[in-house]
Amino acid sequence: MNIIACVKQVPDTEAQIKVKADGSGIEEGQIKWVMNPYDEFGVEEALKLKEKNGGDVTVISVGPARAMETIRTALAMGADKGVHICDPAFDGADAYVVANALAAVIKTLPHDIIFCGQRAIDDDAGQVGAMLAEALGVPQLTLVTKLEFAGSSVKVIRPIEGAQLSIETALPCVVTAQKGLNEPRYASLPGIMKAKKKPVDVKDAAAIGVATDAKAKVAKTIPPPARPPGKIVCGDDPAQKAAELGRLLREEAKVI
């Protein structure tokens, strides 16, 4: 099986996000960078498929030089080789540009199934998987929490609001991973040592031949709206506090 896992390097969930004074983006100085948590589920599922069915796992990332760390993390988990699409021309790229860059590389590789995270926890756009599927002309299965491989097709579970769908799709296809799909493994020490020797192909925009002009642009980054300071609800005992809270929610906030 030829399996592809797409990964993105993002700020850790504990990171404080500080907006630059001129609104041109966020301050990156203090940030700890990690693999997007949803991509970890994708990498793990790719490795599980390989272990069960044979084949190899190629991990691909679009990102600046530091994104190489995330590719190495996936290799240390057990992926076989990497492709790093790295070019300043991709700074400010939107999902459309990224999906087309990934597709350009994937088209040159044999591929049966492609994993992405259901969304990256930085821009929260959740578009790359579907746009990549369109660029490759293959079906997409987004927000997958369970996957069964059956030779030339996969069967997945996909939660929607108030229900779960069971869907069958012919390969090749793009699957976007949701929490619940699996428990991603940690890279072992031997894995980390081996990862250093695994091949990573670094390509720039010219080498893959795609346009890098973003269709959707973040014109301005702004801090979240400030919330007015809250009130501590007073009372002598829990019953009094609950009564006062109920009154405030009814009369002041008008939410119940």
Partner 1 sequence: MAKGVMIVAEQREGALRKISLELASTARKLADQTGDEVSAVLLGSGVEGMAAELGKYGVDKVFVGDNAALEPYVTEAHAEVTAKVIKDNDPAIVLFGASVQGKDLSARVAAKLATGLATDCTDVKLDGGKLVATRPMYAGKCFGEVVINAAPQVASLRPNVFPAAENAKAGAVTKVDVAVGEQKSKVLEVQKDTSGKVDLTEANVIVSGGRGMKGPEGYAILEELAEVLKGTVGASRAAVDAGWRPQKDQVGQTGKVVSPNLYVACGISGAIQHLAGMSSSKCIVAINKDAEAPIFTKADYGVVDDLFKVVPELTAVCKKLVA
Q: Which of the residues 88 through 117 are near partner 1 (CB under 8 A)? A: 94-96, 99
Give the length of the chain.
Answer: 256
Q: Is 213 in the site for partner 1 (CB under 8 A)?
A: yes
With beta carbons less than 8 A apart as the criterion, state whether 61 and 199 touch: no
**Is residue 134 a contact point for partner 1 (CB under 8 A)?**
yes
Q: Which of 132, 69, 147, 64 is nearest to 102 (CA)?
A: 132
Q: Specify whether the CB–CB gap between 176 and 117 falls below 8 A.
A: yes
- Sheet strands (E) in 17-94: 33-35, 56-62, 81-85
Toward partner 1, which CB reaches closer, 127 or 195? Answer: 127
Q: How far is Cα 207 from Cα 77, in angstroms, rounded to an integer?
A: 28
The answer to the question of residue 65 lying near partner 1 (CB under 8 A) is: no
Q: How many CB atoms lie within 10 A of CB 156?
A: 21
DSSP code, position 109:
S
The region of 63-71, 104-112, 197-205, 214-222 touching partner 1 under the rule CB under 8 A is 214-222
Q: Is 242 a binder of partner 1 (CB under 8 A)?
A: yes
Q: Please tell me whether residue 218 binds partner 1 under the rule CB under 8 A.
A: yes
Query: Rounded to the nearest whole angstrom, what is the least distance from the CB of residue 198 to partner 1 in the complex?
Result: 28
Site for partner 1 in 34-63 (CB under 8 A): 37-38
Burial of 6 (0-12, 13-18, 19+ CB in 10 A): buried
Give 150 or 189: the residue with its C-beta nearer to partner 1.
150
Question: Residue 23 CB, nearest distance to partner 1 (Å)?
Answer: 8
Cβ-based nearer residue to partner 1, 9 or 127? 127
3-state secondary structure of 28: coil
Which residue, chain included where needed, has tokens 């501590």?
232
Q: How far is CA 51 from CA 55, 128, 179, in A?
A: 8, 26, 21
**Interacting residues with partner 1 between 153 and 172 (CB under 8 A):** 155, 159-170
d(CA 143, CA 130): 11
Nearer to partner 1, 88 or 180 (CB): 180
Number of chain positions touching partner 1 (CB under 8 A)? 82
For 22, half-sphere exposure in the C-beta direction (CA atoms, 13 angstrom radius) is 1
Determine, following the binding rule CB under 8 A, whether residue 13 of this chain makes contact with partner 1: yes
130 lies in the binding site for partner 1 (CB under 8 A): yes
Among 26, 68, 192, 200, indicate the residue that binds partner 1 (CB under 8 A).
Answer: 26
**Smaller CB separation from partner 1, 60 or 75:** 60
Nearer to partner 1, 193 or 247 (CB): 247
Complex with partner 1: residue 193 or 243, whichever CB lies closer: 243
